[in-house]
Structure formats: structure tokens, C-alpha cells
Amino acid sequence: MKTVTVNIVTPDGPVYDSEVTMVIAKTTSGEIGVLAGHIPMVAPLAIGAVKLKKEDGSTELVAVSGGFIEVRPEKISILAPSAEAATDIDLTRAKEALTRAEGRIQKKQDSIDFQRAELALKRALNRINVREGNM
Ligand code: ATP
């Protein structure tokens, strides 16, 4: 199967750089699957897992907290505010962030704080799912 280079980059530096056969990502308007040779496209990403299918049949997961996916026929770039490969995720930290976010949501603060807490909750849940390999 044909492969395509995938780069995942954050303001802190590169997180992923490899050849894959398919990328599955969660855009703000739904999940997309991209193969090598795809027509150029740019789409905003939701907080979610990027699934990277390798030539040997394995799948790697990277948690991303939004950003953009840019598809070109020979290269796919993901630019995200933060991104972590499954093995780099600190599960305890993510669970603590989840508990904190749940506490803030229950307190029903003003709407800006509520939205921030909801986003923190989504990031934490996403990290937990990616770390635990829940696809
Ligand atoms: P926290 O409250 O634990 O900082 P957060 O969702 O506010 O979580 P972010 O602002 O999204 O964190 O990320 C800040 C930096 O910390 C980024 O570099 C991100 O990759 C890293 N990071 C956040 N949570 C984790 C985690 N559970 N394991 C590993 N790295 C993490």
C-alpha cells in the first residue's frame, strides 16, 4: 500500500514524523480518513485522537487538542496547540486534570470559566482514552 509522510507539530516542537498508510483525524465537522495521494485540503481539528495506520498493520494514536490538518498528496501536516503520543501521556496528570475540570463544571461559574473547564475536560478525557488505547 502507498505511504504518506505525516508530521505532527506543536509550539513546543515536533511530536510525530513517520510514514503511514492512512491518517484518521477528528475535524470539527466529523471524522476523516486520508490516504496517500489525497487532494490538497485544510481542515480545523477537534480535540481528539489522531489514528496513524502503519504499513505493518499496526495503529499508533496521538492525542491532539485541536489545531489544523493540512493534506498534500505526498505529505500530511498537523499543527496543534498541544499533542502527545500515547506513550508520552502521564495518565495520573490527565486524571487529575479531569477531576479538576469536573469540579469547576459542577460549581457553575461564569460562562467563560465554564467553557474553559469543558475544554480542559475534553483534553483530559482524550488523553486518558489515547493512553489507554480506547479507539
Ligand atoms: P494540565 O491541567 O494537566 O496542564 P492541560 O489540558 O491544561 O492539562 P495543555 O495546556 O493542553 O494542558 O498542555 C500544556 C502542556 O502539557 C503541553 O505541552 C501538553 O503536551 C502537556 N500535557 C498536558 N497534559 C499532559 C499529560 N497528561 N501527559 C503529558 N503531557 C501533558
Residues of the chain below pLDDT 50? none
120 Cβ inside 6 Å of ligand 1 = yes
Residue ending a domain, choose from 54, 69, 86: 86
123 Cβ inside 6 Å of ligand 1 = yes
**Mean pLDDT, all residues of the chain:** 95
pLDDT, residue 11, reads 98
CATH (domain of 28): 2.60.15.10
What CA–CA distances, in Å, run from 48 to 24, 26, 62, 70, 90? 10, 6, 8, 16, 16
Question: Quick one: 69 and 96 in the same domain?
Answer: no
Question: Quick one: 46 and 111 in the same domain?
Answer: no
Question: Quick one: 53 and 103 in the same domain?
Answer: no
User: Which residue's alpha carbon is at the smallest distance from atom 8 of ligand 1?
Assistant: 97
Question: Quick one: 99 and 82 in the same domain?
Answer: no
The parent domain of residue 73 ranges over: 4-86
> Residue 90's CB: how many other CB atoms inside 10 A?
12
CATH (domain of 98): 1.20.5
pLDDT, residue 61, reads 98
Question: Quick one: 39 and 67 in the same domain?
Answer: yes
Question: Quick one: 111 and 72 in the same domain?
Answer: no
Question: Quick one: 18 and 62 in the same domain?
Answer: yes
12 Cβ inside 6 Å of ligand 1 = yes
Cell of 59: 495503529
The total number of structural domains in the chain stands at 2
pLDDT, residue 3, reads 96
The count of residues in the chain is 135
Question: Quick one: 64 and 121 in the same domain?
Answer: no
Question: Quick one: 125 and 82 in the same domain?
Answer: no
Question: Quick one: 29 and 46 in the same domain?
Answer: yes
